[in-house]
Homo-oligomer: A and B are copies of this chain.
Amino acid sequence: MAQAKRSAVRRNYPSADTLGRPEGGWRLSLYRIMFEADCEAGRRFDQAVFVVILASLAVVMADSVEFLAQRYGRVFTYLEWTFTIIFTVEYVLRLLCVRNPWRYALSFYGVVDLLAFLPSYAALLLPNLTFLIGIRVLRLLRIFRVFKLRVFADEYAMLGRALRASARKTMVFLSVVLLIVLVMGTVMYVVEGPENGFTSIPTSVYWAISTIATVGFGDITPHTPLGRFVASVMMLLGWGILAVPTGIFTMEMTLAETARRRGQMRTCQVCMTPGQDQDANYCKHCGARMEGAQAG
C-alpha cells in the first residue's frame, strides 16, 4: 500500500488512498498499468501515452497551417478523430479502474485528460468552436510527470529549491518593476500621446514592459525628443534591473550547492574538525586516522 502511494505521488495524480486503489481483479491490473509506474507494463503505457500526445499535438499544429490544411485536411480530420477516440477510451478506462471516479474526474490531471478530447466533440455540435481543440496542448502538462519519474529528479529538485528560495525576493522585486512600469507607461502616454502610437495608458504600460524587459518589438516607438530621452533612461534602467533576478537566483543556487557539497564532507572523530574531504585517510588537523580510510 505504501508503495502504491509513493508511485501515485510520483505520478502527480491524487494519492492511491484518495483515488481508491482497487483491491484486486482486472481493475487492480488496469490501475497498476494506468496509474503506477513500478511495473514494466506501466512504464510502457506511459511512454505510449506520451507518444500519442506528441503525435496529436503535431496534427493540431500542422492543421493550423493553412497551406497544409488545404492539402491534407482530410488526413488531419481522420487522425484527429483517431486521437479523440484513443483519449476518450483512456479516460473511460481510468474512470472505471479507480474506486472513486469523481475524485479522479475532479483532480487536476482528470480535468486535463477530459479537456484533451471534449473540444473535438463540442466542435462537432458547434462548428465555430473548432479553435478549442487547441486546448489539447494542455495535455503536454503530462510531460512533467514523465520527467519526474526518471533520471532528472535531482536536477529538478535542486532547481525547484533555488526557485523557491528566490521566490520571495523575486516577488518583492517584481512589485517594484510593476510600479516603475506603471509610472513610466503613464509618463510616456502623457509625453508621446495617441498620435505617436501610445493610444492609451494600458498600451503604454505594455510598451514599457517590452522596453524594460529588453524585448523591444518596435510596434510602438517614441518619436518626440523627450519621449526618446525617457525611453533611453528606461532602457539603461531595465538593463541594470535585469541583473537583479539573475543575481538572486545565482546566489541562492550557489549557496545551496555549496552547502550540499559541504554536507557531504566528513568530520574527524578524534578532534571533531569538520570539512574533511571525502577521500581523506587522515584528519588534516590532528593527523588521526579517519573512519573508513583505505588501507595505508
Q: Which residues in A have some Cβ–Cβ distance to B below 8 Å?
A: 57, 60-61, 64-66, 131-132, 134, 137-138, 140-141, 143-144, 147, 152, 155-156, 158-159, 162, 168-175, 177, 179, 182-183, 186-187, 189-190, 194, 199-203, 205-206, 209-211, 213-219, 221, 225, 228-229, 231-232, 235-236, 238-240, 242-255, 257-258, 261, 271-287, 289, 292, 294-296
Contacts and interface: CB of A to CB of B under 8 A. Distances in A.
A213 B201 contact: no
B131 A190 contact: yes
19 contacts: A64-B200, A66-B194, A131-B189, A140-B182, A141-B179, A144-B179, A155-B172, A159-B172, A170-B240, A213-B239, A214-B239, A216-B216, A217-B221, A239-B242, A242-B242, A273-B294, A282-B285, A283-B284, A285-B294
A217 B169 CA distance: 30
A202 B57 CA distance: 11
B182 A209 contact: no
B134 A186 contact: yes
Contacts of A186: 60, 134, 137
Contacts of A258: 255
B247 A249 contact: yes
Contact of A159 (B57, B65, B173): B173
A266 to B, nearest CB: 10
A243 B249 contact: yes
Contacts of A189: 64, 131, 134
B274 A279 contact: yes
A190 B285 contact: no
B246 A246 contact: yes
A174 to B, nearest CB: 7
Contacts of A213: 214, 235-236, 238-239
Which 4 pairs of residues, A with B, have the shortest CB-CB distance?
A282-B287, A215-B216, A280-B284, A218-B218
A278 B272 CA distance: 12
B225 A202 contact: yes
Nearest to A211: B215
Nearest to A180: B140
Given A131-B189, A217-B217, 18 more contacts: A60-B201, A65-B199, A65-B202, A140-B183, A147-B175, A159-B172, A159-B173, A159-B244, A170-B240, A202-B228, A217-B218, A244-B249, A246-B247, A250-B251, A251-B254, A277-B277, A286-B296, A287-B289
Contacts of A284: 276-277, 279-284
